[in-house]
Amino acid sequence: MSEFNPNQHQHRRYNPLRDEWVLVSPHRMKRPWSGQVEKTISNGIPPYDPQNPLCPGNMRSSGKRNENYSGTYVFNNDFPALEEQSYILKESDDPLFQIASASGNCKVMCFHPLSNVTLPVMSHEEILAVINQWVNLVHDLGSKYEWVQIFENKGSVMGCSNPHPHCQIWSSSFVPNEGKLADHNQMLYLQKYGKPMLFDYVNKEMRSGERTVVENDHWLVVVPFWATWPYQTLLLPKRHVSRMTDLKEEEKSSLAQAMKSLLVKYDNLFEVSFPYSMGWHGAPTGKHLQSDVSHWQLHAHFYPPLLRSATVKKFMVGYEMLAQAQRDLTAEKAAEKLRNLPDVHYSLK
C-alpha cells in the first residue's frame, strides 16, 4: 500500500462539535462537471433602489417605512418565524408525537445604507459599527431569551431574497438543535480533557498553521479540520471568551480586521461577491446567564457553497443527506488557496 497522502486519498475526519464524521474524497475534484451551473452573481447592484424594502426611507410590504438611516439599522421582522406570544400546549406522553411551546423575537439588521456596499468593501469603522450593534442585541435580547442567533445569508445562491447588505437576529425561548449539540459536546470535552474544546482547538491550530487563513492579535480564522463545505471557515477568539458580550474593545476592533480580511479573500477567490451563510454561536443566555458556561468558546461559522468556480456550487444531496457529509478537497488545500489570496479586494485592482 502506498504512503497515505490526505490530499490524494479518501479518508474520514471527526467533528467533535457535532459528534459526527466527514468523508473526504479529493479525487472527486477531477471529475467532469455537466450539472447545474449558477448564474454569475451580479456586481451591478445599484446603491439605491426605490423599490427595495431595505433601503433607507423606503416602504416595506407591511406598510411600515424605514428610517433614513446612515449607519446600521435594526427593525422587527415583518414576517417573523417566532413571535413573543407563547401558546400553552398540553403535554403529551406519546414518545412519537411531542410538541412544545415556542416564542421569541426576530429582527432584521441592515449593515449599510447603500445596497452595493457589502461587508468586505466596508471600512474598518463601518464593520466595527456592525459588531457593536451585534453586541448590543445579544445583551438586550439575551436578558430575556435563552438563545440569540445572529446569521447572514449572502447571495441568491444561498437563498437570500434581497441583495441589500443585512443579517437577521432570531431570539428564542429555547436552545435550538445546533446550539444544544455544541453545548453538550463542549461540556463533554471539558469534563474529559479539562479544557474548553474550541479554546484547546484554537491553540493547536495556531501551533500548526496549515489550516490558518487569517490571524491577527486576537482572532484566528481556519478552515476547520472537519470542514464540510468546500471553503468553510471557523472564526475564533484567541482568548477564552464564552459570549460576544464578553469581548473587550480591542478584541472587537481586531474582529473587524479579521472579518474584512477573510471576506476580501472570499471575494477574491473567484472574483465575485462570494455567497455564504454565516452565524455566531456563543453560550446560551436568558436563564443560563448565571450558569457556569466555561465549556463554551465563542465562534462564528462561514458556510460558502461555491466549489470549483463562481458558477459551480456544492450540492448537499444523496450521500450527504442519507449517509454523512462528504467533501471534495481537504481542509489544508482549501486553507492554502484562501491564505494565498490578496488582501486587497479585486474590485480595487
Is residue 316 a contact partner of residue 325, using CB atoms and an 8 Å limit? yes
Q: Residue 148 has which C-alpha cell?
A: 440569540
Q: How far apart are CA 45 and CA 29, in angstroms?
A: 32
- How many Å apart are CA 137 and CA 171, to the nearest integer? 10
Exposed/middle/buried for residue 192 (C-beta within 10 Å: 0-12, 13-18, 19+): exposed
Among the options 166, 281, 299, 301, which is catalytic?
166
| Cα R_g (the chain), whole angstroms | 21
φ/ψ (deg, to 5) at 157: -65, -20
- Cα separation, 278 vs 188, in Å, equals 26
Strand partners, 59: 65
Kind of pairing, strands 219-222 and 212-215?
antiparallel
The sign of the CA dihedral 323, 332, 260, 116 is negative
The C-alpha atoms of residue 227 and residue 230 are separated, in whole angstroms, by: 7
Instruction: Based on the residue annotation, tell me whether 124 is a catalytic residue of this protein.
Output: no
DSSP state of 65: B
Q: What's the grid cell of residue 294?
A: 466555561
**HSE-up (13 A, CA, CB side) for residue 111:** 28
> Crossing angle for the helix pair 249-270 and 331-339, nearest 10 degrees?
100
What amino acid is encoded at 184 in this protein?
H
Nearest to 279 by CA among 299, 262, 260, 293: 299
Residue 64, phi then psi, degrees to nearest 5: -90, 145
Q: Is residue 65 within 8 Å of 73, Cβ to Cβ?
A: no
Distance, CA of 143 to CA of 124 (rounded, Å): 29
Name residue 344's amino acid: V
Q: What residues are labeled active site?
A: 166
